[in-house]
Amino acid sequence: MRSTTVADRAVSRHGWVQAVAAVLAALATMLGMAALGLWAAGAARLPDGAFARVVVATVVTAVGGSIELSGNAGVFAQTRAGLAVLPLSVTLTGVLVIAWAFLRPLRHRAVTGAGQLAGWAARIAVLWLLALIGLALAARHTFAVDVRNGTLSDLTGLLGVAPTLGFTTNVPLTVLFGLLWLAGVLLLALLVSRAPPLPGRPARFQEAARPAASAAVALLLAYVVLGALAALVTAATRGHAAQTFAVLLLGLPNLAWLALTLGLGATWHGRVDGPFGLPLPHVLDEVLRTPDVSTLNLRTLTEHDGRAWWLLVAAVVLVPAAAFVTAVRSPVGAPPRRHALSFAVALAAAALMTGLVGRISAHYGLSVLGIGDLGGGLSGELLLRPELGPAVGIAALWGLVAGFLGSLLALPVRRRAGTGRGRGTRTR
């Protein structure tokens, strides 16, 4: 009995060590990605030593945390600012690392028991909670705003106004959304990976949903890889390497998954005003930099650059390829309509996720005695939001057509797989 207790304690300690390693690896990679991206964007020049705090705040937003901006400019002046954006390069890095670390101890098990799985997830969740609290407490800072030259600078000097801008974290919301983010990552990892087979009824659901879910995830990652290649080519041939790498390290999936939805035929609305810009690709800045909210779709993009039609070509090639992979990995004997329906649901879910996490809303401004942006360049707005319902519906329609086509194309492969099973050949 005593030896059993000692063995259990050793296993428990080993589990905690693995959980600590998993959380630390995720935090280190996310902080590193955010730091490199912000450094490329020029944030290292922020006043009052704000760079480190901004890096932490970027990681907080990447896991769904809530950052609140605030300003102070004295009695005669008013500052206003707001920010709602996910740096999806940082988010994706954390998702991949923590999902890999979560699945790694489970990969050699024949079946993962519910108790073992819950215990392993609970260890990671407890440590992640502590990490979220630490990040939320560290992500706060206040620094002075440079009003530059012009009438606004003269007014601030005359009235003794010293405008400042700061940010802080809503700790309860950060903890809540950060834990929900972790739960979503772990559930998605279990759904997509083949490593940890679940017992009983969850195993049947996992087996049915896994092919389409894993193909949709692979499709999203393929767009990120293609976006990275395009960014590297742009940095090498057109200059502005620092800006390009800033986008690559902070917001590549924001643009890559936007390209996926645009290629499918979805419509977004947005506006760029002031010093905000979208350096990669430049055509987005041209379409969105208008007095009113602009419509962003394939038609408006091709009016500025005919090469935008390649987004449709990419969708025509990659979406059926993902549907083909879904059909090949599905159980032999499943009818084409089931493949089409499952892939339609997966692609619609991907479009829904892209629309929710790809929204951007950023604005700031400074006014003195009701007068704002008089030569100081201290106002701006960046807005990007999708027509979410139509985007999800279009993705579902694409999924149905591509899923049925992929199922037909996969019939010879699946037949050979079925023949191999009949002869005792082990198939995946």
Read off the pLDDT of residues 174-229 as tens digits, 9 standing for 90 and up: 999 999 999 999 999 988 887 666 666 666 777 778 889 999 999 999 999 999 99
pLDDT band at 12 (very low <50, low <70, confident <90, very high): low
Read off the DSSP letter of residue 275.
Answer: T
Q: Which residue has the tokens 């909670």?
A: 129
Strand locations in 212-293 (E): 268-273
- Among 242, 245, 244, 328, which residue's Cα sits nearest to residue 281? 244
Residue 164 has pLDDT above 80, yes or no: no
Q: Specify the pTM.
A: 0.84
Mean pLDDT across 289-315: 89
Strands in 141-144's sheet, in edge-to-edge order, are 67-72, 164-169, 141-144
pLDDT tens for 21-32 read 989 999 999 999
Mean pLDDT across 54-68: 89
Mean pLDDT across 94-101: 94
Residue 2 has pLDDT above 60, yes or no: no
- Among 266, 264, 286, which residue's Cα sits nearest to residue 216? 264
- Range in 12-26, 242-256, 310-324 the model is least confident about: 12-26
Which string of b and e fits 73-89 if b means at least 16 CB within 10 Å? beeebbbebebebbbbb
Q: Rounded to an integer, what distance in angstroms lies between the CA atom of residue 57 and that of residue 63? A: 10
Q: Where are the alpha helices (DSSP H) in 265-387?
A: 282-288, 298-304, 310-329, 336-357
SS (H, E, C) 148-196: CCCHHHHHHHHHCCCCEEEEEECHHHHHHHHHHHHHHHHHHHHHHCCCC
Torsions phi, psi for 293 (to 5 deg): -65, 130
Q: Rounded to an integer, what distance in angstroms lies between the CA atom of residue 86 and that of residue 358? A: 7
What the block records as the tokens of 108 is 């050699």
Q: Do the beta carbons of residue 298 and residue 314 sit within 8 Å?
A: no
- Range in 153-162, 215-224, 243-252, 256-265 the model is least confident about: 153-162
Task: Give the whole-number percent of the chain exceeding pLDDT 70.
Answer: 74
Residue 120 has pLDDT above 60, yes or no: yes
Which residue did the predictor score with more confidence, 64 or 392?
392
Q: Do the beta carbons of residue 53 and residue 133 sit within 8 Å?
A: no
Q: Rounded to an integer, what distance in angstroms lies between the CA atom of residue 35 and that of residue 40? A: 9
Residue 152 has pLDDT above 60, yes or no: no
Q: Rounded to an integer, what distance in angstroms lies between the CA atom of residue 425 and that of residue 71? A: 68
Share the mean pLDDT of the chain. 79
Which residue did the predictor score with more confidence, 379 or 299?
299
Which residue did the predictor score with more confidence, 153 or 125?
125
pLDDT tens for 381-420 read 778 899 999 999 999 999 999 999 988 888 777 656 554 4
Q: What is the pLDDT of residue 234?
A: 79
E strand or H helix at 104, and its extent?
A: none
Phi-psi region of 150 (alpha: psi -120 to 50; beta: other; left: phi over 0): left
